Structure 1
């Protein structure tokens, strides 16, 4: 790569005309070098997606950060707070923010003058047969050199400012990523805790089933004694009780496993899971959609906000790459003292001074700068595509959860009617069996049917709670870009206009 560099070290008045001439000759050439390199990609507005039917306005409220309290279980919010305080994933996100902050400080320093100081002392024997004649040649001398230097890059084309803005945008994206990690972790804790609640509910069903089958076993024993049944029915009843106890033991093992999973989400060892009590989640909680979901979602979902800030960073990255085509102008000055020995070191005659601008402009680089700019535009287009895909996925998440809840409500109503009928049939079968009017097989069939329906209703009720938690997560989990100081235009919503990666 070849560049033209001009360094003028003379009086400011004589240097002014030389610098102006260099800028006038080469500035236009620098501007023209990136002609033809551009992008027409734009972020998509939520208004472009039709979602009024799939995501209807329900007059609800956006979730708050303490959304877990609405489920009526005091243990759940405590577990979420514990997870957020001790999670390694949150710590990793915080480390990324700290690293991004260091880039901001580094980029900001380039906007200001830099001052350095140096001092050297050299003891040297000069050759008597070389450059220096006697009395210096053949004699030991000490040289003292002190110098204070200052330099300042003028940043006329905004390269350093664009780099700073890019670093700020990347930090904002990292902060939004951390918020997304918090939302994801909180939802994971809640959904795993709901899974624990489901297992406990199924365990209660299994325990009741054991009691029911034991009752049938006692009826069978009485019928065997009365000569109405044989040992076949007695062993069948005993086997059914043992099967139910096996199911109960299996559920106990699953409960223990989920406790360990919760402990891992809390950032603790497996023993912490054994301290978690039985959940008391209210399955009747209903999350209603707020109005204007598609438009407002861009400020409520941290992953969308992070993607938007990444597009903003890519825009500034392009501006920095374009500024590389323009001349760099540095002002430099230095003052100090240089003398042999100590006696004349700080005298006026030992002063040394330098002052003048330096101009640096690329003339021929074999297309390196153009290639760099093309790469920045490619990054920009990739970030735009990522933003658009994130927005589409977010709307799909909300619509999918709403559709699943609607379907589940219909299934639950049907399953509840089936359970009511199956329970009545089972009760009648037991009465008839006890009275000797029907065989044991009829009771067992009715019992299996009732048990299957009760398990179905239990699964559907707790699955609805899981979908409610998923809906809260898809609505941002209480995140608000304005409250988090992450809104790009300061109004609580990402800008509707598209970023312009132009100079």
Structure 2
């Protein structure tokens, strides 16, 4: 018994010595000198106080479409979000990322497998086995239960799991981005439909006006004040207006088809949409502290941030590859010829022991792999920083466009009022025989152009408001979901700083 105890102690000491030797040998492959100095840009590093003034507004909510006063618009957006294939594609990508999480998590736990085999074999009488085995048929039964466990002493499997979780979060944020983009596309296309109907109303009024001028012309021709030239000119103008109306009807049908596609339905669905309701303009004021809060309000920024987090864990996994892997394995079963002794104690087979993988010399493979992971990290950081710059520019561009349009609107409305007054006076003078038809037609063209301009500007302002809502995240808020991420900068520190490791063997 004493000898057995001594033998056990000797075995333990041998295992410890082997482990120490393994750690020392592992130092032959090391990642000294491989790191990154790239950092995530903070929003406040980009000057934007002039372009993004404090206006005391509120961040958009998910039901922002109700603020435009058309009850059909929110319903169309909900229908699109429920049926558009782009959302289904994003959901499929999330499901795929979730499967990677399950696969990575399974590596943290022991694995147990069972197997059974039955073999019927005729052994040669002139080979390895002499009679009575040679020249005789035998059946061999083999049953085995095996278990293995990767100890993951250096956190490689944990890093792989964390990377998979980050990828799933990025996929979820990308789906939210797809939802915001789709909702804004539906609203913008719907606004285009409203614009076309508004222009159609203008065209119908123009037809009525030109018919009135035509009747005045017919009266003047009968009185000998005008000729058939003026009559044909008036008729031609009415026909031109009718042609413009027909063109608008074609554009309306095409836009309806586009809406049907955005809803994930056939073109006939677009034809069943009721005419839009055009309400007075709705103002979207900028909330306070836009740059700082935008990083959690824009799903594309959140997705880019999670991508950086994934790259960080990818680096940790690559660093763990420099250390030895230790896997514990054990197996128990029975193996015997025939059935009579199959499950007897003498037929037992038992295996147990650790397996150690040592990265001693790999011709630079592990270092090059780690360099590639750092390159991915640098790329993801650069992508995040560029996404942040684009996001700030997007908001500023929408705000500047709205400011410019408001100034244009005042000038355009004054021009329309003056052109309308001039047109009415020209018609009165023409009817009284005090001015020629050409003066009426000129005033009419000027009034029509100004009315179309005002109509376009009014609907463009609504479109810019939709664009600003989208630029502000479309109601998304990572802090109220499971997509919020710590912004303390730990990601960069963990990825860029070289961790301690065994010293290279001399």
Q: TM-score range by the shorter chain?
A: over 0.9
Q: How many residues align?
A: 489
Contact 2:312/2:491 (CA < 8 Å) preserved in 1?
no
Contact 1:283/1:465 (CA < 8 Å) preserved in 2?
no
1:129 Cα shift? 2.9
Question: Does structure 1 residue 402 correspond to structure 2 residue 399?
Answer: yes
Question: Does structure 1 residue 193 correspond to structure 2 residue 193?
Answer: no
Alignment match, 2:19: 23
Alignment match, 2:110: 113
Distance 1:120 1:320 in 2: 38
Distance 2:10 2:73 in 1: 75
Q: 2:124 aligns with which of 123, 127, 138?
A: 127
Question: Does structure 1 residue 476 correspond to structure 2 residue 470?
Answer: no
Inter-CA distance 428–12: structure 2 relative to 1 (3 Å threshold): farther
Question: Does structure 1 residue 323 correspond to structure 2 residue 320?
Answer: yes
Q: 1:66 aligns with which of 63, 68, 75?
A: 63
- Give me the CA root mean square deviation: 1.4
1:227 Cα shift? 1.2
Inter-CA distance 497–57: structure 2 relative to 1 (3 Å threshold): farther
1:21 Cα shift? 2.2
Q: Structure 1 stretch 169-178 or stretch 11-20: which is displaced more?
A: 11-20
Q: 1:242 aligns with which of 222, 227, 239?
A: 239
Contact 1:209/1:244 (CA < 8 Å) preserved in 2?
yes
Distance 1:418 1:468 in 2: 24
1:133 Cα shift? 2.9
1:77 Cα shift? 0.8
1:28 Cα shift? 4.3
- Mark the runs of 5 or more structure 1 residues left unpaired by the alignment: 1-10
Deviations 1:12-32 (A, max 9, x none): 765543332233223245356
1:277 Cα shift? 1.3
Distance 1:12 1:112 in 2: 28
Deviations 1:427-452 (A, max 9, x none): 11111111111111111111111110
Q: 2:228 aligns with which of 222, 227, 231?
A: 231
Question: Does structure 1 residue 352 correspond to structure 2 residue 349?
Answer: yes
Contact 1:198/1:458 (CA < 8 Å) preserved in 2?
yes
Distance 1:12 1:267 in 2: 71
Alignment match, 2:180: 183
Question: Does structure 1 residue 40 correspond to structure 2 residue 37?
Answer: yes
Alignment match, 2:281: 284
Distance 1:248 1:119 in 2: 81
User: Could you list the runs of 4 or more consecutive aligned residues of structure 1 that deviate by over 4 angstroms after TM superposition?
Assistant: 11-15, 494-498
Contact 1:206/1:248 (CA < 8 Å) preserved in 2?
yes
Question: Does structure 1 residue 428 correspond to structure 2 residue 412?
Answer: no
Question: Does structure 1 residue 383 correspond to structure 2 residue 380?
Answer: yes
SS of 1:456 mapped into structure 2:
helix
Contact 1:42/1:498 (CA < 8 Å) preserved in 2?
no
Q: Structure 1 stretch 345-354 or stretch 127-136: which is displaced more?
A: 127-136
- Mark the runs of 5 or more structure 2 residues left unpaired by the alignment: 1-6, 500-506
Distance 2:378 2:211 in 1: 68
Distance 2:456 2:95 in 1: 44
1:37 Cα shift? 1.0
Contact 1:196/1:279 (CA < 8 Å) preserved in 2?
yes
Alignment match, 2:440: 443
Contact 1:488/1:495 (CA < 8 Å) preserved in 2?
no
Inter-CA distance 165–129: structure 2 relative to 1 (3 Å threshold): same
SS of 2:304 mapped into structure 1:
helix
Contact 1:333/1:355 (CA < 8 Å) preserved in 2?
yes
Q: 1:221 aligns with which of 189, 194, 218?
A: 218
Q: Structure 1 stretch 367-376 or stretch 174-183: which is displaced more?
A: 367-376
Taking structure 1 as the reference length, the TM-score comes to 0.95
1:132 Cα shift? 2.4
Contact 1:283/1:464 (CA < 8 Å) preserved in 2?
no
SS of 2:478 mapped into structure 1:
coil
SS of 1:123 mapped into structure 2:
strand
Alignment match, 1:294: 291
Alignment match, 2:359: 362
Distance 1:348 1:364 in 2: 44
Distance 1:129 1:13 in 2: 48
Contact 2:210/2:237 (CA < 8 Å) preserved in 1?
yes
Alignment match, 1:253: 250
Alignment match, 1:467: 464
1:278 Cα shift? 0.9
Alignment match, 1:157: 154
Taking structure 2 as the reference length, the TM-score comes to 0.94
Distance 2:224 2:488 in 1: 84
Inter-CA distance 44–151: structure 2 relative to 1 (3 Å threshold): same
